[in-house]
C-alpha cells in the first residue's frame, strides 16, 4: 500500500513524521525523507494516520482508497429541448477545486455543458449551463443554473473558485444574466427575460461558422446568439451557492447593453458576438495580500481586462484595462484562448499574462509583442539558468507575425528569446521537462516534428501527445496526459510508454481532449487527475500508485501553481505550472 501525505510551507525543514496503521506506529521518517511510504503489510481495509513527531495533537487521517481512484457520484441535469425542437442532454465538463466549507479539504466545482453547446462562430440554440459543488464523499452542496441568457460553449462561462476575502472559505464567481438561479433558488434579474436571437442574419466576416448564400455572401444566422440584454458578474457563497453580490459586467457589449449590429461591430470587430463574447478569467494577488478576480473579454481584436475585489461583503472594481483606450492600441489582438497569472517582476504582486501581452498589477500595460493570437501557452521557470520566469506559446497568424509558429519569451519584459518557424496555424504546444539529459524544460509544437531544448535547439523527435503534462510517477520529470491516458516519454527510444489508461472514461472539450481537472488535490506533491465517466454518472479522481524519494511542499501552496488550478477551466484548458523549476536536477528539496 502506498500512503502519501502533505508537507506544508510552515513545516520546518527538520520535520519528521510518524505513520500509524490502525492506530499503531509503523514508520518514523528521517529528516528530509519523502512524504510517501510503501506499507507492504497493509491492506485496503487498513486505516492510516500521520502525526508530526513531537506534536502532541491527534494524528490526522491519511486518505486511503480501496480502488485506484475515488468515485464521486453525479446526477446530470434533466434533458431538454430547444425552441427549434432539438433535443439535448448534459455532459460533465470542466472542474475546479477549492475549500468551500472551511474544513481544510478541497471540494470539487463542476460545470455541466449541454450537448448542443456552441463555438462563438456558430449560430444555434444551446441548453443552459449548470454548476455543481461536491464534497469528496459525494455530497452535493448546491447547483446553480445560469439560465437561457448565458450561452453554452468553451468560450462563454469561465468560473473562479477561491477565497477572495480571506475568511477561510472560498467563494465562486462568474458571469451571469437575467434568469440565473443561484444555489438556494433565488433568481438574478428578470426571470422571464429571453435575450436570445430567434431569427435573422447579419453579415459575417469569418469563414468558420458562416452560412454562404448563393451569391457567395457570408452571413451569420442569429438564432441562439445573445447580443442584447443586461450582463452581470456575481459572487456566490461557496458553501450554499447563494448569490452574495451582483454587479454590471464590465466592459459591457456596448454602453446601454443593446447595441445594433453596426455598434457591436464598431466596438468589438463583428456584429454576431464571435469576438465580443470570448471570455477569460483568473485569480491574481494584485495587492500582494488578498486575491482579486480577473475577467477578460475579447482577444482577436479589442481586448479588455477587469479586476474585481470581494472585501467585507462588497464587490468593487479595482481597475479596467482596455485596448480601445488611447495609447493602448498595440495591445489589441494579442490575447490567447487562456491566460496565466504570475509575479513576473518580483515585486510581490501578480501580473496577468494574456497571450502575447501582459498587464501589470496596477492595470497598466507591461509589455506587448506583435505575435498575435495563440491557442496554448505555458508560464513557469522553464529555463532555470535565466533569472525569472519564461512564457512559451504557439501562434495562429503567421501572416502578421513573421511566420513564427512558437516562441519563448521573458515573462517580465516580453523579450523574445527564441522562436521556431511555421507556415500555418500552430494549434498545439507544450513546455515541460521530459528528458533528463537536457537542463530545463523541453518544448514541442504541432508545426514541427522536433523536440527543442531551452535554447531552441532541436534535440530529437517530439512526442505525439501535445496536451497536458503531469507530475505522476516518482521522478521529477513530467509525464504526458492526453485524452484518458498518462504516458511516460522514453527519451532514449523516442516513444511514449503508457502508465495509466483506465476504461469507461471520457475526456472533455472535443479534440482538446482535456481532463475535468488536474491538480495536487491530496497526498504528497504529485498531481491527481479527474475524469468523467463515459455515462456522466461519476467523476473519478486518480492518484499516483508510484513511490518517490523526492520531498516537496504541496504544489497547491506554490502561488503560480495554485492560481493555475483556478484558471485551468478557462476556455482552452492548460495544465498548471510552478513558480520554480521542478524537473531533473532540481536542487533545494525540503
Q: Confirm if 577 and 378 have CB atoms less than 8 A apart.
A: yes
Average pLDDT of the segment spanning 111-120 = 98
Phi and psi angles of residue 396, each rounded to the nearest 5 degrees, phi first: -110, -30
Say whether pLDDT at 409 is over 90: yes
pLDDT confidence tier of residue 134, bands split at 50, 70 and 90? very high
Question: Which pLDDT value is given to residue 257?
Answer: 83
Strands 160-162 and 171-177: antiparallel
pLDDT tens digits, one per residue of 288-323: 999 999 999 999 999 999 999 999 999 999 999 999
Q: Confirm if 290 and 270 have CB atoms less than 8 A apart.
A: no
Please tell me the total number of residues recorded for the chain in this structure. 590
Average pLDDT of the segment spanning 216-238 = 98
DSSP state of 187: B
Q: What are the CA-CA distances from residue 91 to residues 113, 122, 131, 179, 438 (Å)?
A: 6, 20, 12, 22, 41
Q: Which residues lie below 8 Å from residue 399, measured CB to CB, with a gap of 6+?
A: none
Which residue in 272, 274, 294 sits closest to 284, CA to CA? Answer: 294
- Measured distance CA(96)–CA(277) in Å, rounded: 22
Which residue in 311, 338, 343, 11 sits closest to 163, CA to CA? Answer: 311
Say whether pLDDT at 194 is over 80: yes
SS (H, E, C) 349-369: CCEEECCCEEECCCCCEEEEC
pLDDT tens digits, one per residue of 524-537: 999 999 999 999 99
Q: Confirm if 555 and 527 have CB atoms less than 8 A apart.
A: yes
Say whether pLDDT at 443 is over 80: yes
The residue whose grid cell reads 496536451 is: 467
The residue whose grid cell reads 473579454 is: 297
pLDDT tens digits, one per residue of 60-88: 998 777 788 999 999 999 999 999 999 99
Cell of residue 461, nine digits = 523527435
Strand partners, 97: 108
Question: Which pLDDT value is given to residue 161?
Answer: 99
Average pLDDT of the segment spanning 180-184 = 99
pLDDT tens digits, one per residue of 539-572: 999 999 999 999 999 999 999 999 999 999 999 9
C-beta neighbour count of 262 within 10 angstroms: 10
Q: Which residues lie below 8 Å from residue 274, measured CB to CB, with a gap of 6+?
A: 120, 121, 206, 209, 220, 300
Average pLDDT of the segment spanning 434-456 = 98
Q: What are the CA-CA distances from residue 585 to residues 35, 384, 462, 550, 589 (Å)?
A: 19, 10, 21, 11, 11
Q: Confirm if 388 and 410 have CB atoms less than 8 A apart.
A: yes
Q: Is 411 left (phi over 0), alpha (psi -120 to 50) or beta?
A: alpha
- Measured distance CA(204)–CA(264) in Å, rounded: 13
Question: Which pLDDT value is given to residue 585?
Answer: 87
Say whether pLDDT at 473 is over 80: yes
Say whether pLDDT at 247 is over 90: yes
Amino acid at each position: 500500500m502506498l500512503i502519501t501525505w502533505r508537507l506544508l510551507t510552515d513545516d520546518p525543514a527538520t520535520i519528521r513524521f510518524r505513520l500509524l496503521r490502525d492506530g499503531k506506529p509503523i514508520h518514523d521518517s528521517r529528516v528530509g525523507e519523502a512524504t510517501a511510504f510503501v506499507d507492504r503489510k497493509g491492506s485496503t481495509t487498513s486505516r492510516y494516520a500521520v502525526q508530526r513527531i513531537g506534536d502532541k495533537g491527534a494524528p490526522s487521517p491519511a486518505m486511503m482508497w480501496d480502488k485506484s481512484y475515488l468515485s464521486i457520484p453525479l446526477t446530470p441535469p434533466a434533458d431538454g429541448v430547444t425552441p427549434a425542437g432539438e433535443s439535448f442532454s448534459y455532459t460533465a465538463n470542466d472542474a475546479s477545486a477549492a475549500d468551500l466549507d472551511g474544513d481544510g479539504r478541497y471540494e470539487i466545482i463542476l460545470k455541466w455543458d449541454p450537448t448542443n453547446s456552441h463555438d462563438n462562430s456558430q449560430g444555434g440554440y444551446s441548453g443552459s449551463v449548470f454548476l455543481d459543488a461536491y464534497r469528496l464523499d459525494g455530497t452535493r452542496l448546491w447547483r446553480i443554473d445560469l439560465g437561457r441568457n448565458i450561452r453554452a460553449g468553451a468560450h462563454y462561462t469561465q468560473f473562479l473558485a477561491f477565497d477572495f476575502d480571506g475568511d477561510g472559505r472560498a467563494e465562486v464567481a462568474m458571469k451571469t444574466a437575467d434568469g440565473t438561479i443561484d444555489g438556494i433558488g433565488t433568481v438574478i434579474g428578470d426571470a422571464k427575460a429571453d435575450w436570445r436571437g430567434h431569427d435573422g442574419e447579419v453579415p459575417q466576416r469569418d469563414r468558420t461558422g458562416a452560412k454562404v448564400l448563393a451569391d457567395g455572401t457570408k452571413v451569420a444566422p442569429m438564432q441562439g446568439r445573445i447580443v442584447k440584454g443586461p450582463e452581470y458578474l456575481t459572487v456566490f457563497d461557496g458553501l450554499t451557492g447563494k448569490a452574495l453580490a451582483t454587479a454590471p459586467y464590465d466592459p459591457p457589449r456596448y454602453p446601454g447593453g443593446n447595441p445594433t449590429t453596426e455598434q457591436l461591430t464598431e466596438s468589438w470587430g463583428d456584429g454576431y458576438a464571435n469576438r465580443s463574447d470570448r471570455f477569460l478569467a483568473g485569480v491574481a494577488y494584485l495587492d500582494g495580500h488578498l486575491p482579486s478576480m480577473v475577467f477578460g473579454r475579447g482577444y482577436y481584436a479589442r481586448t479588455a481586462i477587469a479586476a474585481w475585489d470581494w472585501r467585507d461583503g462588497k464587490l468593487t472594481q479595482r481597475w479596467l484595462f482596455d485596448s480601445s483606450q488611447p495609447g493602448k492600441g498595440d495591445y489589441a489582438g494579442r490575447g490567447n484562448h487562456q491566460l496565466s497569472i504570475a509575479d513576473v517582476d518580483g515585486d510581490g504582486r501578480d501580473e496577468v499574462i494574456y497571450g502575447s501581452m501582459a498587464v501589470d498589477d496596477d492595470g497598466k500595460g507591461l509589455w506587448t509583442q506583435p505575435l498575435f493570437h495563440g491557442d496554448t501557452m505555458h508560464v513557469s521557470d522553464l529555463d532555470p539558468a535565466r533569472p525569472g520566469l519564461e512564457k512559451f506559446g504557439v501562434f495562429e497568424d503567421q501572416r502578421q507575425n513573421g511566420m513564427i509558429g512558437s516562441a519563448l519569451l521573458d515573462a517580465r519584459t516580453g523579450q523574445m528569446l527564441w522562436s521556431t518557424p511555421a507556415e500555418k496555424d500552430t494549434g498545439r504546444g507544450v513546455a515541460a521537462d521530459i528528458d533528463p539529459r537536457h537542463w530545463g524544460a523541453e518544448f514541442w509544437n504541432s508545426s514541427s516534428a522536433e523536440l527543442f531544448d531551452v535554447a531552441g535547439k532541436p534535440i530529437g523527435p517530439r512526442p505525439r501527445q501535445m496536451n497536458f503534462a503531469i507530475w505522476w510517477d516518482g521522478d521529477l520529470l513530467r509525464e504526458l496526459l492526453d485524452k484518458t491516458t498518462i504516458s511516460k516519454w522514453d527519451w532514449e527510444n523516442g516513444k511514449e510508454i503508457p502508465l495509466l489508461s483506465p476504461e469507461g472514461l471520457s475526456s472533455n472539450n472535443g479534440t482538446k481532449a482535456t481532463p475535468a481537472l488536474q491538480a495536487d488535490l491530496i497526498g504528497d506533491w504529485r498531481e491527481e487527475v479527474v475524469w468523467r465517466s463515459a455515462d456522466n454518472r461519476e467523476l473519478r479522481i486518480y492518484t499516483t500508485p508510484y513511490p518517490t524519494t523526492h520531498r516537496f511542499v504541496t504544489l497547491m501552496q506554490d502561488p503560480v501553481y495554485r492560481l493555475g488550478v483556478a484558471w485551468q477551466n478557462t476556455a482552452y484548458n492548460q495544465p498548471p505550472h510552478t513558480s520554480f523549476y521542478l524537473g531533473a536536477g532540481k536542487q533545494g528539496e525540503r
